[in-house]
Structure 1
C-alpha cells in the first residue's frame, strides 16, 4: 500500500471491520471468496476503480455503483466492507483493490481460526514455497498472465497432485495464480506466509537449508529465537539443495548466511581481491 491517504484509509477500514470478520466465524469462507472475486473484477476494470474512489463523487453515488456490482446476493459483511472502502480516500484508484484483497486474505485467516487450522495452513504454504523454489519454469507459468487463468490453475492442480492440502491453503494458492496482480508467484506465497505469521502473533524466521529441518532442529530454533526476540516465532523452513550445507536465516531484512555456497562465494571474492 502506497500513499498517506491509502495507509490511513486501510487502517481505518481494518479497525472498523476486523471485529466483524472475526465474528463471522465459518461465514468468513464465503466472505473471503466474494472479496477475491471483487478484487479480480476491480483489477480488470480501471474505470470501475475510478468510479468507486473518485473523491469528487458523493459517497451515496459510489455505494449505488457498488450495489450494481455485487447486488443483493453478497454476504452482509462483504457489503459492509466494500461500503466502508468506497467511503474512504485513496491515494490511487488501484489501492482499493489492494485493500479488498487484504480483507479477502484476512477473511480466510479468520475462517482458519474458526476451523482450527491456522498453523496447518501456514505450514502448507511454506511447503508449497519450498517445492516451487527449484522449479523456475513452473513458477513463471503460474503468474504468466498471457496464459488463461484456467490453464494456470490446471497447472497448479497438476503440481499439487494427490497432496491433501487444506481447502484454505488450496484457495489461497489458486488465488495467487488466478489473479497474480503483477506479482511473481513465490512473492505472493511469501506474502501470505508473512500475513499468517503476523496474524498468529509470531515473528517469521525463514531458514534455508539443503535438506529439510528435523523436528528437533525446528524446536531448537524456535527456543533460541523466542528467547532472543522475547516473543513467539514461527520457522518457515525452505529447502534449497543449491546451498549445499549450513543455514541461511532471515528475520525481516536481517540475513545471516552461513551456507556452504555463501562461504565459497566469500572465499572466491577474497582470492580474487588478493590476486
Structure 2
C-alpha cells in the first residue's frame, strides 16, 4: 500500500457518501467527530479497522457492534464505507474521518453555493488572523492545563456570535482536538476542505482569445447547465492554447479529448 492508496480511498469515499454528508450537515459532522475521538483513543480498534487481513464484512461487523445503536443511520453508512476501504497507515483512517466530517459540516454552507463556502472560509481564516496576532491567545489555546471546555469557550469568543454553526463547530474542533497540530494549523487544515469544496463551484476557463461580455455570459450559462450548479467564472487567456478552450470545474476537465462538449460550448458562445 502507498500514501496514494489512502488518498484514493478518501476520494472514493467522498464520492460514494457525498449526498449523505451534505444532507446530514453539522449534526452528522458532530457524530463523525465523536467517533473519531474514539478511534484516536483506541489503538486496537484503529488497527483492526485498517488491517488488510480483515475482510470488509468483518470490519463492517465491528463498526455495527460498536456504533450501530449509538449513531444515526447516515453516520453508520459513512463509517462502514470508510471501514471497508484500504489505508496505507493507521493514522490515515483518522485523518480521512476528520476530512469527511469536515465535508459534512461544510454541506450546509454549500447549499448557498460559492458564496456560502466563501463566507465559511472567511470565518475560519479570520479566526486564525486573530489568534496569530496575539501570543497570549496562542498560549491559552495550547495550554495543557486548560480544559477542553475552556479552550472551546475561548475559541467561541474569538470567533464571535455571528459565526455560522459550521464555523463554530470546525473552530471548536480544531482547538479542542487538534490531533497533534497547533490549533491554527488544525483550523487551516479544515479550511483546506472548505477551499476544496469551493473549487467545485469555480469554472476555470482558459481560452485562446479574449471573450467579449456577451460571449462570457453565454459561456457561463452553458457551463451552469452542463454542471447543474451556479458556477463562478475564472477566465484566463492563453493564445498558445490548442483547441481554443479548456474548462476545469473541480477535478472535471473539458478539453480537446471531449470535442463534442467543447463544440457545443463554442457554438453557444458564438450564437
TM range (shorter): 0.5 to 0.7
Shift in Å, 1:227: 5.0
- RMSD after superposition: 2.7
CA distance in 2, matches of 1:163, 1:28: 20
Name the counterpart of 2:170.
172
Maintained 8 Å contact 2:99/2:190: no
Name the counterpart of 2:28.
31
Change (3 A) 1:58 1:144: farther
CA distance in 1, matches of 2:89, 2:144: 23
Name the counterpart of 1:122.
121
Matched, 1:103 2:100: yes
Matched, 1:3 2:17: no
Name the counterpart of 1:135.
134
Matched, 1:62 2:59: yes
Shift in Å, 1:125: 1.5
Shift in Å, 1:96: 0.8
Name the counterpart of 1:200.
198
Equivalent pairs counted in the alignment come to 206
The Cα offsets for residues 154-179 of structure 1, whole Å up to 9 and x where unpaired, read as 3323444x542111111111010121
TM-score by length of 2: 0.67
Shift in Å, 1:115: 6.2
For structure 2, the 5+ residue unaligned runs are 203-233, 239-246, 249-271
Maintained 8 Å contact 1:145/1:180: no
Name the counterpart of 2:38.
41
Change (3 A) 1:144 1:69: farther
TM-score by length of 1: 0.66
Maintained 8 Å contact 1:35/1:100: yes
Shift in Å, 1:151: 2.5
Name the counterpart of 2:13.
13
Name the counterpart of 1:235.
none
CA distance in 2, matches of 1:115, 1:178: 28
Maintained 8 Å contact 1:122/1:196: yes
Change (3 A) 1:127 1:104: same
For structure 1, the 5+ residue unaligned runs are 204-225, 233-275
CA distance in 2, matches of 1:86, 1:7: 14
Report the secondary structure of 1:91's partner residue.
coil
Maintained 8 Å contact 1:28/1:111: yes
Maintained 8 Å contact 2:9/2:86: yes
